[in-house]
Amino acid sequence: MGRKIFVSYKYGDTHVEDLNIYESNWLGQNVKVQTKARNYVNELATILNSEDHIYKGEEDGQSLADFSDECIASALRDRIYDSSITIVLVSKGMKTFEREKDQWIPWEISYSLKEYTRNERTSLSNGIIAVVLPDEWGSYEYYITPDTECNCRTLKTDFLFQILRDNMFNIKIPDKRLCNGSWVYSGDSSYIQSVKWEDFKSIPNYYLNKGIELRDKKDDYNIIKSIK
């Protein structure tokens, strides 16, 4: 039995690795098109087995500037209510210069974390996985960098939306040590875990199961559900 998965992403972000996509133009010729984050959603649907159901997030050019908070909430409740996992595609150009509450991704994360009741049934918070896409150079170092000296990796969380940052390294009783003046966390220290696209592709069910496992242990984490 598959899981219902909601995918949050920045539709038009072109700061992603080329997927070598060709499409037919009006003359019937196959022409190469620029890869966007949206194209990775298609790849994701192919990677997951046919039992999984994918609900897609933002559509190209959808602005929130003229929407009330309640209108946004209503739209997202309809999209997210039946899902159990949210995959956030982290990409280098996922943020714009608009206020965070005027961008879709923070709202989608917020409503993935909230519990609400419909027809006498209360939905659970979703498990959330941050799947990090390679940038146009095929690199992840805009967000994830290895630290061989401390035998760990560094996540540049300042790059992320606030609600993503708030739900990382948020376990109530952390297992951590000092290395070169910085804390190094061990174990499942974050409710929202970050995984490279290439690693997710190799064992997707492992990470999907991990998202559900952490959702079921959500009381171990200080979870922030609202946009600041």
Annotated domain spans of the chain: 4-220
pLDDT, residue 64, reads 58
Q: Which amino acid is at 209?
A: N
Distance of alpha carbon 29 from alpha carbon 8, whole angstroms: 32
pLDDT, residue 121, reads 67
pLDDT, residue 62, reads 60
pLDDT, residue 56, reads 80
> Which stretches in the chain have pLDDT values below 50?
none
As a residue count, the chain comes to: 228
Q: Which of 213, 205, 215 is nearest to 48 (CA)?
A: 205
pLDDT, residue 81, reads 81
Distance of alpha carbon 34 from alpha carbon 51, whole angstroms: 30
pLDDT, residue 28, reads 76
Q: Which amino acid is at 168?
A: M
pLDDT, residue 68, reads 62
The helix (run of H) or strand (run of E) holding residue 69 is helix 69-80
pLDDT per residue as tens digits for the range 54-111: 888 776 556 555 566 677 777 777 778 888 999 999 999 999 888 898 888 999 999 9
pLDDT, residue 101, reads 86
Q: Which two tokens stand for residue 120?
A: 């006498």
pLDDT, residue 112, reads 94
